[in-house]
Structure 1
Amino acid sequence: MTTEFIIQLAVLGMVVGFAAGLLGVGGGGILVPMLTTMYLSADIVPSHAVHLALGTSMASIITTTFSSAFSHYKNHNLDWHYVKSMVPLIIVGAISTSFLVPIINTTALAIFFSLFMLSISLRLFFNKQQVPTQKSHIPPQVAGLGIGSISTLVAIGGAVLSVPYLMSRGIEMRRAIGSSAAIGFPIAISGTIGYAINGHINVEELANNQAIIGFVHIPSVIIISICGFIMAPLGVKLSTRLPVMVLKKIFSVLLVLLSVRMLLNVLL
């Protein structure tokens, strides 16, 4: 890796960590399109750039999901009944989906990710809390399987899916967010294991990239995780001083632009 590439990873990690602390959002929406663009530009396994970005992003959010989950645990914001019920099939869904990722076309993955991020961005822009109007009858185990599968496919911690579900089961928002954070950690762990084990790249393509395990680029994970961990507390500190609602709208627009840019890079 060149010095320029390392600096880009460090800056990316700081931005993701700061945004996570300030806005309470996961890093996948920023990491996947940015890493895809960077891997394509640096000619790092270009035929699997999206797959590599997804796996690396999943591994990079392990530290942030753990930190968030531990914080909510200390503040007694977890509903252990739902966490224990959902986690086993969340792990099954995450690892099972990782078996399918290698056979999904790069363009199809990019399109699915872009559309998914568009839906999240619209919700963020219009500040829709998604307060359910009626109780969900989907069992926690089934919900866990779906949340684990989709979260792994787009490399996110799953809060955008698990919080509305938990609230639809009658859990108040604060505990739903805390429980979602606890759910996000095993998603990140199991998704990373799946991407590492099931990622298949030709030996010829890996000739100059021995630091890649499956679909996980280890140097990227280390640099992004360290820089993100350092910057997250600053984001939390400034969250009470900056116009968070305005920043969320700006962030939602940024997510759309990054996703579109990634899609164009893959298509072109």
Structure 2
Amino acid sequence: MTFWAPQVLVGFAVLGICAGCLSGLLGIGGGVILVPLFLWCFHLVGVHPDVLVHCAFATSLAIIIPTSISNTLGHNAQGHVDFHQVVFLAVGSALGALVGAWGASMLSGPILRVLFGVMQLTVAAKLVFGGMSPSEKALIDRPISLLVVGGISGAFSAFFGIGGGVIAVPLMVLFLSFPIHLAVGNSSALIVVSSLTGTLAYIYNGWQISHLPHGAVGFVVLPVVLLVLPFSLIGSRIGVRLAGAFSHAKLVKVFAVLLVVVAIRIMSTAL
């Protein structure tokens, strides 16, 4: 079977649109959908087991770059991106990623995955049931606060292999008092930086690896990127428009549902 098989193309189209829509709506990368899609697809077409997971991660990140750029432009047109804040968030995220990568090699994974899941469930409950609306609180955008939030986001992202938006958005809402539309827009811009860095690393580290599928550039399977990207971009535009149509309260609840799903998924890997 090849990437051009009808069932594979249908999967690319449907889940590509879903990933893009989720990304545009909630300011996440979309890897929560793309990575399982590629693990299934690459296994189906016979990608070598030694490189299958790396190719799934790398190809997902490569698609997330232009998708997040599209998301950022769309949210910026609605006035929901502050690039001054994004710079500090990105610096903090890069530093946090170094800590997260170190921690991943030093600490007990299963226990921390369970703790992470519990934290996500707690944050989801706090988003839905706790606190005042952002309009009732002063927005906090001091550089040190932004660096800390970016650092925590980057550390968890690197440690657990998840998109930083799942952490960054609730942190911006709960601890910086950002309206969720601004948090989603800033997160989209932040993901451009993190996904680009990750993609380049996968290309470099996979450059001399054997058993790569045809058309791969490092671990990035370029034909799959070209097939899925148009659908992801379509979904991205849909998601950005939906985000603009949602009230703060409704979008918070949608994001809380995502946190619960991610928490269950992360905790299940520890069992």
**Which category describes the TM-score, using the shorter chain as reference length?**
0.5 to 0.7
Give the letter aligned to residue 159 of structure 1. G
Q: Which residue of 35, 38, 56 corresponds with 1:35? A: 38
In structure 2, relative to structure 1, the CA distance for the partners of 1:61 and 1:50 (3 Å cut) is same
Contact 2:28 2:164 in 1 (8 A): no
Contact 2:35 2:60 in 1 (8 A): yes
Residue 169, structure 1, aligned to residue 179, structure 2: no
Q: 2:75 matched to which residue of 1?
A: 72
User: Which ranges in structure 2 are unaligned for 5 or more consecutive residues?
Assistant: none
Residue 214, structure 1, aligned to residue 213, structure 2: no
Residue 181, structure 1, aligned to residue 181, structure 2: no
Q: 1:44 matched to which residue of 2?
A: 47
Contact 2:71 2:237 in 1 (8 A): no
How far residue 226 of structure 1 moved from its aligned partner, in angstroms, is: 0.8
Q: 2:127 matched to which residue of 1?
A: 128
Give the letter aligned to residue 229 of structure 1. L
Deviations 1:183-242 (A, max 9, x none): 121112111111211236742x13xx231222211122221211111233345566769x
- Cα distance in structure 2, aligned partners of 1:83 and 1:152: 19
Q: 2:202 matched to which residue of 1?
A: 195
How do residues 102-117 of structure 1 correspond to structure 2 at under 5 angstroms?
none
- Cα distance in structure 2, aligned partners of 1:26 and 1:195: 17
Q: 1:55 matched to which residue of 2?
A: 58
Secondary structure of the corresponding residue to residue 44 of structure 1:
coil
Give the letter aligned to residue 226 of structure 1. P
How far residue 59 of structure 1 moved from its aligned partner, in angstroms, is: 1.2
Contact 2:70 2:236 in 1 (8 A): no
How far residue 44 of structure 1 moved from its aligned partner, in angstroms, is: 0.7
- Cα distance in structure 1, aligned partners of 2:46 and 2:192: 31
Deviations 1:26-46 (A, max 9, x none): 411111122112222322122
Q: 2:227 matched to which residue of 1?
A: 223
- Cα distance in structure 2, aligned partners of 1:21 and 1:122: 23
RMSD across aligned positions (CA): 4.5
Secondary structure of the corresponding residue to residue 184 of structure 1:
helix
Q: Percent identity?
A: 26
TM-score w.r.t. structure 2 length?
0.67
- The number of residues matched between the two structures is 252
Q: 2:86 matched to which residue of 1?
A: 83
Q: 1:147 matched to which residue of 2?
A: 153
How far residue 11 of structure 1 moved from its aligned partner, in angstroms, is: 2.9
Give the letter aligned to residue 162 of structure 1. A
TM-score w.r.t. structure 1 length?
0.68
- Cα distance in structure 2, aligned partners of 1:193 and 1:116: 31
